[in-house]
């Protein structure tokens, strides 16, 4: 009987210990979940990513000003969908955004390092048409071996030699933009490196297709290059605005300049929106049908571009359309 009682006592004691362990585990788990919830609620994400339909644009100013916190979705994750291509600058067409979608991009967030001009120097060539081709960046004069630094915090996506760009680096930023630095004499970073604003990218030079020592600097979104002068004041080395608006391949810091249709029922026979008044020649284009699409005349196109009416158009050439 004594042996049996001891056995019962041992079983009871073990059961009690297991029950206490289970209760402690549940309490610990509940406490951990509560702490995680409180932590998540207390956080204030820093990247402002607002996506609105064109029909909502009348209230977009109050929309992004009234939000107490920013979106939990980082812009680069939302836009690029884990596409991390280390070989090509451009992206597949399926990543393009809907034409009626407006993105509001916050360039520098609260916890980011401030913007840094990649190199303080004279701008010798701007974004736009050059020799009937689209020059996709801003050229800044420098001396061979001068330092070139990163504009925003980010991560190096490409660091390689490219035939036209020479030694080139592409950095993706969490605001969704990518910046490109080319014609470098020396590359000082590697792919997948985390880099902060103001940290060394490389040393300036004239590798690739370059006639003098300079930095060719580009800003891109989903592979599309746009004029960095839209948001950077290269004379003062500062940002013109901390907000950048994007819709249908158009970039503006002034929302009022976005070309937004007045009504969904209103139809237009004009050509699709061409940012900065530039039209890229496509297969089958003629001066006559380009003029018709843009409600202008062949003679005006010829005058603006200093070409003759009999000029042979080449696919990929750029035309000014005012």
For residue 63, give both structure tokens: 């929309």
Distance CA 286, CA 144 (A): 43
List strand residue ranges (DSSP E) for 188-302, in order: 194-195, 200-204, 214-221, 224-226, 232-233, 238-239, 243-247, 250-252, 278-280
What was the pLDDT predicted at 7? 45
pTM over the 0.85 mark: no
Asked if the model's pLDDT at residue 129 lies above 70, the reply is yes
What was the pLDDT predicted at 157? 97
Among 64-68, 221-225, 307-311, the range of highest mean pLDDT:
221-225
Chain segment 156-186, per-residue pLDDT in tens: 999 999 989 999 999 999 899 999 999 999 9
pLDDT mean across residues, the chain? 76
Among 125-129, 263-267, 269-273, the range of highest mean pLDDT:
125-129
Asked if the model's pLDDT at residue 274 lies above 70, the reply is no
Closest-CA residue to 130 (of 230, 57, 209): 209
* Distant-in-sequence, close-in-space partners of 97: CB < 8 Å, separation ≥ 6: 79, 103, 222, 246
Backbone φ, ψ for residue 143 (5° rounding)? -100, 155
Is 154 strand, coil or helix?
strand
Task: Determine what percent of the chain is predicted with pLDDT higher than 90.
Answer: 40
Asked if the model's pLDDT at residue 70 lies above 70, the reply is no
Chain segment 91-101, per-residue pLDDT in tens: 888 888 888 88
Asked if the model's pLDDT at residue 140 lies above 90, the reply is yes
Q: What is the mean pLDDT of residues 224-236?
A: 94
Asked if the model's pLDDT at residue 73 lies above 50, the reply is no
């Amino acid at each position: 009987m004594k042996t049996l009682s001891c056995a019962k006592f041992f079983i009871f004691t073990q059961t009690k210990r297991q029950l206490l362990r289970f209760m402690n585990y549940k309490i610990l788990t509940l406490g951990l979940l509560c702490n995680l919830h409180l932590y998540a609620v207390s956080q204030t994400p820093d990247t402002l990513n607002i996506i609105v339909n064109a029909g909502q644009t009348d209230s977009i100013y109050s929309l992004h000003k009234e939000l107490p916190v920013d979106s939990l979705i980082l812009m680069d994750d939302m836009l690029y969908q884990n596409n991390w291509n280390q070989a090509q600058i451009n992206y597949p067409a399926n990543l393009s955004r809907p034409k009626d979608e407006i993105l509001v991009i916050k360039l520098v967030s609260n916890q980011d390092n401030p913007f840094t001009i990649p190199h303080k120097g004279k701008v010798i060539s701007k974004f736009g048409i050059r020799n009937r081709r689209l020059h996709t960046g801003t050229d800044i004069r420098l001396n061979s071996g001068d330092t070139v630094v990163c504009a925003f915090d980010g991560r190096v996506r490409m660091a390689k030699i490219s035939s036209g760009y020479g030694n080139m680096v592409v950095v993706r930023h969490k605001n969704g933009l990518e910046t490109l630095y080319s014609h470098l004499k020396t590359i000082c970073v590697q792919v997948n490196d985390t880099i902060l604003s103001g940290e060394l990218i490389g040393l300036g030079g004239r590798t690739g297709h370059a006639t003098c020592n300079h930095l060719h600097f580009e800003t891109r979104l989903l592979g599309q290059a746009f004029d960095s002068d839209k948001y950077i004041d290269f004379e003062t080395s500062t940002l013109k605005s901390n907000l950048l608006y994007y819709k249908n391949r158009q970039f503006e810091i002034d929302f009022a300049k976005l070309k937004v249709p007045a009504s969904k029922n209103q139809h237009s026979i004009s050509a699709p929106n061409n940012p900065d008044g530039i039209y890229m020649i496509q297969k089958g284009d003629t001066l006559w049908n380009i003029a018709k699409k843009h409600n202008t005349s062949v003679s005006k196109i010829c005058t603006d571009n200093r070409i003759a009416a009999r000029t042979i158009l080449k696919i990929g050439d750029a035309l000014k359309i005012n």
